[in-house]
C-alpha cells in the first residue's frame, strides 16, 4: 500500500525525479573524473574513462525509471499519442470508421433494449418462472360464450381458488382495465386515471411487498361494495401525490365512492401486462363502484377476467393442466344458471384450458412488435457486420500502406512486440472512441424509438423501461473491439515479419499484396451481399407501407376530427333518456357550427375495438363461426364519415325506441351471407342465435364496406343499429370539418361543455392520425429498415471506394507502363472497373440467393405484395448499383487520368 503511494507520488513528480537522477549521476561522473585525474590521467582521458566505467547514460535513466514499474504507462502514453496523430492524419477514414462503429453498435443496443423490454425481460416479481395463466392471456373484454378458456367470471375464480390443489396462490385481474375519471382528495379537477381491478390475492400471488402501508389481502375482496380501498403505484405516488409521506391519508374518488389509499406498490411493479402501467389497484369487490358500473362480481357468466397462479413446487405442468381442466368442467356445469343445451355443451366439451407460463408477462405490445423488433434486430446485426467489415478493410489498407514505415522502424531497432502493440493501441483507440459515440447514439435512438413505437409525437409514451441494455452494449463493444484488434493485429504481425530489406527495396509490390487483396475482396463481396439483402427488404417494406396508405378504407380519411370523451362520469346509464337526449343535442349543435359539415356518434370508430356476435338469417343455415361486428350509431354518422348508402335508406327520426327495430348491413354481408339474387331490404334477421322478437331486426339499408379494426383486414361483416333502439354510452364523436383544426376543435369542445360542463374530454385527434397510428409497426419497420439499408449501402460504397483507391495506388506503376505503351485511357479505366464490377455482381448474386432463402421471414410483415416480386428485386439492384458503381468509378477515373511520365517517375 505504501509502496503504491510512493510510486504514485513519484509519477506526479516526474520532472523532479528526472532532475534529481540527473544531478546525482553528474556528481558521480565528476567525482570519478577527479579521482582519475588524481591518479595521473590526462583530463581528456579521465573524462572518457569515467564515462566508460559508468555505462550508457540514457539506458540507465530508462532503467531507473522502469524500476518504479511505470514503464508500460509511458509506452502506452506514447502509443496513444502516436495513434491519435496517425488517425488524425486521415480524418475522412477515421470519421467513417467511428461513425460506422457508433451507428452499428448504437442501433444494435437500442433495438435490443426494446426487444428486451417488450419480449424478453422477466416480470419484476418473486420467482416469475412459477407463474402460469389459464388460457393464452391474449383476449380482453367480456363474453358469455360457453367454452371460454382465457376469460373467466369472478364466481368461477372464487370456486377455482377454493378447489384447486396445484397452485399455492391464485389471483385474477379484470382483462379490460381502462381509464376512468376520478378525483384525488378534494381537488377541483377530475383526472384521467387508470385503475386495475384485481382479486385480494393479486399481490401475494405475485409475491411483492409494499413500500408504504399494506397491500390487499383476501379480506379486502369478500363483500361486494364493502372495500373502498386502493393500492397506488409508486410512479403515481411520486407524480400525482408528489411522494407525500402521509400518502395513507389521501383518497381517490370514483363516481360516488371515495377510496382510501392503504399502500404503495414497489417501484417498477406494474402487474402482469407489459406496456400497461396502472395508476392504482382496486379490489374486484368494488367493480360496480367504478364509473362504468361493471356488474359482474356475482354474475357466473360475466366472463371478463384473466386468472393466473403460482404453481406449487413439485407440481408438473401436465398435472396442473389436467386438474384445472377437470375443475373447469365441474365448476362451469355446476353453476345453477348454466344453460346446458346441446349447443353450449358441445362448446364446453371442446374447450381445453391450456396453462401458459407468464414469466415475461402478457402483452399486446408483444404481438404487435415482437416480429418487427426481431427483424430490426437482425437488420442491425447485419449493419454491425458491415461496419466491422469496413473497419477491417480500413485497418488492412492502412497497415499495408505502412509496411514500409514498419520496415524502416524495425531496421532502426524497434522491437517487433512494440510495433504490434503500437498498432493494437491504434485499433483500440478507434474501437473505444466508436464505442463511446455509440452509447450516446443508443441513448438518443432509444428515445426516438419509444416515440415511434408509441405512435408518434402527439401520443402518450408507452410505459416500458427501455434503459440501455448493458449486457448487449458490452457484447457489441466486444465484437467491434475484437474485430478492430484482429484486423489490426493480423496485418501488424505480417508487416512486422516482412523481410526488412525486401520492403525497403520495393515499397509498392511485396508478397502481402495478394493475400490482402483476397481478404479485402471477400469482405467487399460480403458487404455487397448483405447490403443487397437489406436493400431488398427496405424496398419491400416501403412498398408495403405505400400499399397500406392507399388502401380503400371505404370513407375519405381526411377532414375528420375525433373527440374522445368520458360520459361514464355522469353516473347515468346509456339508456337513460337524459343521456340519449344529451348525445343528440351535442350532435345537432356541433353539426351546426361554422366549418363543420357533419357530426355523428358511433360506438366504434376506426381501430377502436368491437362488439361482435353471430347472427341468424332466416332461410340460410345458422353458422356460429361467422362473427358480425355491430356498431351502434347516431343518425348523422354515415353522413359525417361519408360512407355511401348503396340501397335502402339511412337512419332517421322515425327510428325510435318504440318503433320496430331496424338494421343496416355492409355490402359484403349481403353478398356473402344472403342467398344470391335476394333483395335484403325488408327482410328480417336476428342478432345472435335465438330467433326471438327481442333480436328481430328489419333490414332497411345496405352501405359500402369499410375498414373497421385495421387497414390489413379483409372485408368485414358489419351491421349498424340506431342508438335509440340500443342506447350506447358513447365515447367518440366524429366531426367532418374544413378550416383550421385548432379553431374548430375549440368550438366543438366549447359546444359540448355548454351542453354539459361535467363531461371530461380526454383527447381530440383526427381520423388520419388514428389510421397512421394503426400502422405504426409497418411505418417503424419501413422507416428503420430503409435507414439501415441506406447506411449499409453507404458503408459498402465506402468499402468499395477504399479498396479501389488502394488497388489503383498499388498499380500506378503498371498503369503508367501500359499507357506509355499506348493503352487508351478508357481501357485502363475499364481494367480497373472490371474487377470491382465482378465483385459487386457476385455480391448481388450472393445476396439474391440469401434473399430467396430467407423471404419467409418477412412475409408476415408485408401487405399486398410477395417478397419475391421482381420489381422490388430490380429496384434494389438499381439502387445498389447507383451507389456502388460511382464509388468504384471515382478511383478508376483517377487511374485513367494518370500521366504515364508521372507514374513512372513516381517510384
Partner 1 sequence: MKPNDIPPGSLSLLILNTLSRHGELHGYEIAESILHASGDVLQVEEGSLYPALQRLLVQGWVSAEWGTTAGNRRARYYRLTAAGRKQLTAELSHFHRIYGAITAVLQPA
Summarize as ranges the residues that interact with partner 1 (CB under 8 A).
2-3, 6-7, 20-21, 23-25, 27-28, 31-32, 53-57, 60, 63-69
Q: Which is nearer to partner 1, 38 or 412 (CB)?
A: 38
Strand partners, 734: 562, 600
Question: What are the residues whose beta carbons fall under 8 Å from the beta carbon of 907, sequence distance 6 or more?
Answer: 508, 813
Q: Which is nearer to partner 1, 69 or 456 (CB)?
A: 69
Helices (H), 459-569: 470-497, 500-505, 512-549
User: Cα 96–98–104 angle (5° rounding)?
Assistant: 95
Question: What are the residues whose beta carbons fall under 8 Å from the beta carbon of 548, sequence distance 6 or more?
Answer: 711, 712, 775, 778, 863, 864
Q: Which is nearer to partner 1, 68 or 335 (CB)?
A: 68
CB of 49 to partner 1, least distance (A): 11
CB of 63 to partner 1, least distance (A): 4
Identify the CA nearest to 269 among candidates 133, 123, 128.
Answer: 123
Q: Are strands 560-565 and 732-737 parallel, antiparallel or unpaired?
A: antiparallel
CB of 78 to partner 1, least distance (A): 20
CB of 429 to partner 1, least distance (A): 30
Identify the CA nearest to 781 among candidates 376, 226, 393.
Answer: 376
Question: What are the residues whose beta carbons fall under 8 Å from the beta carbon of 461, sequence distance 6 or more?
Answer: 450, 451, 454
Q: Which is nearer to partner 1, 2 or 550 (CB)?
A: 2
Q: Which is nearer to partner 1, 21 or 883 (CB)?
A: 21
CB of 3 to partner 1, least distance (A): 6
Question: 725 with 142: CB under 8 angstroms?
Answer: no
All three cell numbers of 666: 355492409
Q: Which is nearer to partner 1, 6 or 14 (CB)?
A: 6
Separation between Cα atoms, residue 827 and residue 813, nearest integer Å: 16
CB of 56 to partner 1, least distance (A): 7
**If DSSP codes are grouped into helix, strand and coil, which group holds residue 600?**
strand
CB of 20 to partner 1, least distance (A): 7
CB of 48 to partner 1, least distance (A): 14
Q: Which is nearer to partner 1, 71 or 225 (CB)?
A: 71
Identify the CA nearest to 252 among candidates 295, 292, 281, 212.
Answer: 281
Separation between Cα atoms, residue 429 and residue 82, nearest integer Å: 11
Crossing angle of helices 154-163/317-334, nearest 10°?
Answer: 130
CB of 32 to partner 1, least distance (A): 7
Q: Are strands 628-633 and 718-722 parallel, antiparallel or unpaired?
A: parallel
Q: Which is nearer to partner 1, 60 or 581 (CB)?
A: 60
CB of 57 to partner 1, least distance (A): 7
Q: Which is nearer to partner 1, 27 or 461 (CB)?
A: 27
Alpha carbon separation from 278 to 153, 272, 467 (Å, rounded): 22, 11, 20
All three cell numbers of 61: 535513466
Question: 721 with 632: CB under 8 angstroms?
Answer: yes
Separation between Cα atoms, residue 174 and residue 158, nearest integer Å: 14
Q: Which is nearer to partner 1, 23 or 690 (CB)?
A: 23
Separation between Cα atoms, residue 460 and residue 114, nearest integer Å: 17
Question: 453 with 113: CB under 8 angstroms?
Answer: no
DSSP string covering 620-639, please? S---TT--EEEEEE-TTHHH
Separation between Cα atoms, residue 848 and residue 509, nearest integer Å: 36
CA 250 to chain centre: 37
Q: Which is nearer to partner 1, 30 or 219 (CB)?
A: 30
CB of 55 to partner 1, least distance (A): 4
**Cα Rg for the chain, rounded, in angstroms?**
38
Beta strands in 768-888 (DSSP E): none
Q: Which is nearer to partner 1, 54 or 906 (CB)?
A: 54
CB of 9 to partner 1, least distance (A): 11
Question: What are the residues whose beta carbons fall under 8 Å from the beta carbon of 349, sequence distance 6 or more?
Answer: none
CB of 54 to partner 1, least distance (A): 4
Alpha carbon separation from 175 to 150, 258, 295 (Å, rounded): 10, 23, 14
Q: Which is nearer to partner 1, 64 or 842 (CB)?
A: 64
Q: Which is nearer to partner 1, 16 or 644 (CB)?
A: 16
Q: Which is nearer to partner 1, 60 or 514 (CB)?
A: 60
Q: How far apart are the first and last CA of the chain?
A: 59
CB of 788 to partner 1, least distance (A): 54
Amino acid at each position: 500500500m505504501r509502496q503504491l503511494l510512493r510510486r504514485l507520488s513519484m509519477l506526479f513528480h516526474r520532472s523532479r525525479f528526472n532532475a534529481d537522477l540527473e544531478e546525482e549521476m553528474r556528481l558521480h561522473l565528476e567525482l570519478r573524473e577527479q579521482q582519475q585525474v588524481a591518479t595521473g590521467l590526462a583530463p581528456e582521458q579521465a573524462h572518457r574513462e569515467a564515462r566508460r566505467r559508468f555505462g550508457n547514460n540514457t539506458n540507465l535513466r530508462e532503467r531507473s525509471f522502469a524500476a518504479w514499474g511505470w514503464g508500460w504507462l509511458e509506452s502506452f502514453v506514447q502509443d496513444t499519442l502516436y495513434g491519435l496523430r496517425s488517425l488524425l492524419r486521415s480524418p475522412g477514414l477515421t470519421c467513417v470508421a467511428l461513425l460506422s462503429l457508433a451507428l452499428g453498435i448504437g442501433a444494435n443496443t437500442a433495438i435490443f433494449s426494446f426487444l428486451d423490454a417488450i419480449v424478453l425481460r422477466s416480470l419484476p416479481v418473486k420467482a416469475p418462472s412459477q407463474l402460469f395463466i389459464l388460457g393464452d392471456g391474449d383476449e380482453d373484454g367480456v363474453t358469455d360464450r360457453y367454452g371460454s378458456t382465457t376469460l373467466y367470471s369472478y364466481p368461477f375464480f372464487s370456486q377455482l381458488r377454493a378447489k384447486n390443489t396445484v397452485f399455492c396462490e391464485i389471483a385474477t385481474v379484470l382483462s379490460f382495465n381502462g381509464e376512468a375519471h376520478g378525483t384525488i382528495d378534494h381537488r377541483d379537477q377530475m383526472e384521467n386515471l387508470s385503475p386495475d381491478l384485481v382479486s385480494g390475492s393479486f399481490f401475494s400471488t405475485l409475491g411483492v411487498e409494499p413500500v408504504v402501508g399494506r397491500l390487499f389481502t383476501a379480506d379486502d375482496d369478500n363483500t361486494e361494495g364493502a372495500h373502498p380501498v386502493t393500492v397506488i403505484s409508486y410512479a403515481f405516488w411520486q407524480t400525482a401525490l408528489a411522494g407525500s409521506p402521509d400518502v395513507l391519508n389521501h383518497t381517490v374518488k370514483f363516481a360516488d365512492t371515495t377510496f382510501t389509499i392503504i399502500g404503495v406498490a414497489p417501484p417498477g411493479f406494474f402487474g402482469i401486462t407489459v406496456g400497461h402501467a396502472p395508476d392504482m389497484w382496486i379490489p374486484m369487490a368494488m367493480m360496480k363502484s367504478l364509473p362504468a358500473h361493471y356488474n359482474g362480481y356475482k354474475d357466473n357468466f360475466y366472463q371478463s377476467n384473466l386468472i393466473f397462479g403460482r404453481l406449487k413446487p413439485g407440481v408438473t405442468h401436465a398435472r396442473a393442466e389436467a386438474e384445472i381442466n377437470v375443475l373447469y368442467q365441474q365448476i362451469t356445469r355446476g353453476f345453477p344458471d348454466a344453460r346446458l343445451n346441446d349447443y353450449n355443451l358441445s362448446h364446453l366439451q371442446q374447450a381445453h384450458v391450456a396453462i401458459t407460463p407468464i414469466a415475461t408477462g402478457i402483452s399486446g405490445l408483444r404481438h404487435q412488435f415482437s416480429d418487427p423488433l426481431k427483424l430490426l434486430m437482425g437488420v442491425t446485426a447485419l449493419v454491425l457486420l458491415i461496419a466491422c467489415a469496413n473497419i477491417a478493410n480500413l485497418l488492412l489498407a492502412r497497415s499495408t500502406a505502412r509496411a514500409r514505415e514498419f520496415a524502416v522502424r524495425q531496421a532502426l531497432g524497434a522491437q517487433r512486440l512494440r510495433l504490434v502493440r503500437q498498432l493494437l493501441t491504434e485499433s483500440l483507440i478507434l474501437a473505444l472512441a466508436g464505442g463511446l459515440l455509440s452509447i450516446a447514439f443508443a441513448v438518443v435512438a432509444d428515445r426516438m424509438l419509444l416515440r415511434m413505437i408509441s405512435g408518434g409525437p402527439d401520443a402518450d409514451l408507452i410505459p416500458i423501461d427501455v434503459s440501455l441494455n448493458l449486457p448487449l452494449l458490452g457484447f457489441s463493444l466486444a465484437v467491434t473491439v475484437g474485430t478492430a484488434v484482429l484486423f489490426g493485429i493480423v496485418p501488424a504481425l505480417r508487416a512486422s515479419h516482412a523481410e526488412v530489406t525486401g520492403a525497403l527495396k520495393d515499397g509498392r509490390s511485396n508478397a502481402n499484396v495478394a493475400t490482402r487483396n483476397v481478404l479485402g475482396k471477400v469482405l467487399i463481396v460480403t458487404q455487397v451481399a448483405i447490403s443487397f439483402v437489406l436493400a431488398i427488404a427496405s424496398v419491400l417494406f416501403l412498398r408495403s407501407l405505400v400499399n397500406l396508405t392507399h388502401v380503400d378504407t371505404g370513407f375519405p380519411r381526411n377532414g375528420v376530427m375525433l373527440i374522445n370523451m368520458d360520459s361514464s362520469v355522469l353516473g347515468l346509464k346509456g339508456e337513460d333518456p337524459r343521456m340519449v337526449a344529451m348525445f343528440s343535442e351535442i350532435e345537432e349543435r356541433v353539426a351546426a357550427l361554422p366549418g363543420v359539415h357533419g357530426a355523428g356518434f358511433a360506438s366504434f370508430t376506426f381501430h377502436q375495438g368491437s362488439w361482435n356476435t353471430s347472427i341468424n338469417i332466416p332461410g340460410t343455415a345458422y353458422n356460429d363461426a361467422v362473427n358480425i361486428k355491430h356498431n351502434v350509431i347516431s343518425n348523422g354518422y354515415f353522413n359525417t364519415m361519408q360512407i355511401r348508402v348503396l340501397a335502402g335508406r339511412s337512419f332517421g327520426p322515425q327510428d325510435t325506441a318504440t318503433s320496430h327495430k331496424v338494421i343496416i348491413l355492409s355490402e359484403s354481408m349481403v353478398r356473402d351471407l344472403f342467398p344470391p339474387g335476394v333483395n335484403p331490404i325488408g327482410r328480417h334477421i336476428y342478432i345472435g342465435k335465438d330467433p326471438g322478437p327481442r333480436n328481430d331486426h328489419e333490414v332497411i339499408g345496405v352501405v359500402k364496406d369499410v375498414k373497421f379494426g385495421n387497414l390489413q383486414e379483409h372485408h368485414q361483416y358489419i351491421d349498424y343499429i340506431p342508438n335509440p333502439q340500443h342506447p350506447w354510452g358513447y365515447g367518440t364523436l366524429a366531426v367532418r370539418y374544413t378550416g383550421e383544426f385548432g379553431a374548430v376543435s375549440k368550438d366543438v369542445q366549447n359546444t359540448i361543455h355548454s351542453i354539459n360542463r361535467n363531461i371530461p374530454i380526454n383527447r381530440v385527434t383526427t381520423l388520419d392520425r388514428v389510421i397512421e397510428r394503426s400502422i405504426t409497426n409497418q411505418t417503424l419497420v419501413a422507416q428503420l429498415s430503409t435507414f439501415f439499408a441506406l447506411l449499409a449501402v453507404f458503408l459498402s460504397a465506402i468499402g468499395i471506394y477504399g479498396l479501389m483507391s488502394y488497388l489503383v495506388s498499388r498499380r500506378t506503376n503498371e498503369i503508367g507502363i501500359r499507357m506509355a505503351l499506348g493503352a487508351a485511357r478508357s481501357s485502363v479505366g475499364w481494367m480497373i472497373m472490371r474487377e470491382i464490377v465482378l465483385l459487386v455482381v457476385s455480391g448481388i448474386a450472393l445476396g439474391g440467393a440469401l434473399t430467396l432463402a430467407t423471404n419467409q421471414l418477412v412475409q408476415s410483415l408485408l401487405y399486398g405484395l410477395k417478397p419475391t416480386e421482381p420489381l422490388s428485386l430490380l429496384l434494389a439492384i438499381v439502387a445498389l448499383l447507383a451507389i456502388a458503381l460511382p464509388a468504384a468509378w471515382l478511383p478508376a477515373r483517377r487511374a485513367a487520368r494518370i500521366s504515364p511520365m508521372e507514374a513512372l517517375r513516381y517510384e
